[in-house]
Chain A
Amino acid sequence: MTSITVNVDGASYTDEVEPRMLLVQYLREQIGKTGTVVGCDTTNCGACTVHLDGRSVKSCSVLAVQADGHEVTTIEGLATNGELHPMQQAFHESHALQCGYCTPGMIMQAIDLLVDNPDPSEQEVRDGLEGNLCRCTGYQNIVKAVRAAAKAGA
């Protein structure tokens, strides 16, 4: 077992973990942050996307021990004082989710893509989401939501 200290959604956690424990498992099983989910086992689907030191990563492809001393933001850490993040609001407004399973990862990646490109074209949004799979929405409203959030200065 290895001791790690990770800042998750603004709070610091110190835990003993097996080195083999994936960050997504640490979040879900050890600190109870079940908002981040597992959708595949080959780093394709992106449902597990969180921010690590402010950049999007697939938390199934990071070991918990690699996060020691770092900052993680999950979907549960986005809303501040009960107010939704503009991207969350945009997804709601644009009906950019149906079953919601891919949604946390999709929102986290959408926020990240605006960091590099604050005013993306439709194709740039689509390209920026190439690592996130959705089976319900057909992506059209997701693209709409991201561009709306961009306009709102997300």
Chain B
Amino acid sequence: MIPARFDYHAPTTLDEAVRLLAGAGDEAKVLAGGQSLLPVLRLRLAAPEVVVDLGRVDELRGVREDGDTLVIGAMTPHAEVAASDVVRRHARVLSEAAATVADPQVRHRGTIGGAIAHADPAGDMPAPVLALGGELVVVGPGGRRTVPADDFFEDLFTTALGDDEILAEVRIPSHQGWGGHYAKFTRVAQQWSIVAVAAAVRTEGGSIAEAKVALTNMGSTVVRATAVEQALVGAEPSDEVVRAAAAQAAEGTSPPSDINGDADFRRNLATVLTRRAVLAAAGS
């Protein structure tokens, strides 16, 4: 329950945070909302010597529109993302996903940037960001760089973030007018996703013109269900048609087996949830 000792810094600018992180080497951890890091520290699964707290870097927080792009500061709490009309308009599925993370108290503190940087395969933020073709803006001693979501999630708890880099922004091309739905399956409400599906759908003349589908917890990282996406082009948003497309949801995935379900069960869930998410997105 009591973390090991660490040195603590609370910079007020991003530049200062980057400097502190660079100075601390690999013995430092970045503290965002703390809803993933603090449990890790309390159980002593990690014992960093230095913690750099981004909580006072105001420039990292907030939701804004930048032309056709939705920009969300990394330190924006899930509750703010979920409640934002701007997010809802441009990225409906992200709005829904943020509302499902853990519980209200955790959503008041946990941040989109912290969740993405942590890259827990069962976490809910990567799937909508990946599905919508988002980009992550990363800042380090060498300056700013932008990493497409496709290239950002590398492995279990591993991203393209260098040890001395900080995730600053999440940028998502506007999907205004698209339907979106995040279908999350858990045994108890506050649980991490056993499997979840982020679906964004554009309908035209009563058919699905385009679909974007990403799967949570079907592998060591979030993954796009590209076979499903292709099968849905021009598809009728009916149960029968979508069911057939969704049957391919688990293709190319390597879902884990754990006490919440084995790989077969997860594959099944992926197809069922994909169907439900796509139908809901098409109808919304």
So, do A and B actually touch in the complex, CB under 8 Å?
yes
Chain A contacts to B: CB under 8 angstroms: 2, 18-20, 22, 25, 38, 41-44, 46, 49, 52, 55-58, 60-63, 65-66, 68, 109, 112-113, 116, 127-128, 130-132
Q: Are A43 and B8 in contact (CB under 8 A)?
A: no
- Measured between beta carbons, the chain A residues less than 8 angstroms from B103 are 46, 130-132
Question: Contact check: which of B8, B35, B55, B106 meets A19 at CB < 8 Å?
Answer: B8
Q: How many residues of B contact A (CB 8 A)?
A: 31
B39 and A55 contacting across the interface, CB-CB below 8 Å = no
Q: How far is the CA of A42 from the CA of B79 in the complex (A)?
A: 20
Q: Contact at B38–A19, with CB atoms within 8 Å?
A: no
Determine whether B204 belongs to the interface, using a CB cutoff of 8 Å to chain A.
Answer: no
Residues of A within 8 A of B259 (CB): none
Question: Are A20 and B10 neighbours in the complex by a CB distance under 8 Å?
Answer: no
CB within 8 Å of A: which B92-125 residues: 102-106, 108-109
B65 within 8 A of A: no
Residues on the A chain within 8 Å of B79, using CB = 55
Interface residues in chain B, defined as those with a beta carbon under 8 Å from any beta carbon in chain A: 1-8, 10, 31, 34-35, 38-39, 41-43, 51, 53, 55, 79, 83, 102-106, 108-109, 189-190
B1: chain A residues at CB < 8 Å are 38, 41, 60
- Asked if B39 and A2 sit within 8 Å, CB to CB, the answer is no
Q: Is the CB of A130 within 8 A of B190?
A: yes
| CB-based nearest A residue for B41 | A20
- Residues of A contacting B34 in the complex (Cβ-Cβ under 8 angstroms): 61-63, 66
Q: CB distance B39 to A41 under 8 Å? A: yes
Contact between B105 and A109 (Cβ–Cβ < 8 Å)? yes
Contact of B104 among A22, A25, A63, A128 (CB under 8 A): A128
A-B contact pairs, 14 of them (CB 8 A): A18-B5, A20-B6, A25-B2, A41-B1, A41-B39, A43-B102, A58-B109, A61-B39, A62-B109, A63-B34, A66-B34, A113-B104, A131-B106, A132-B103
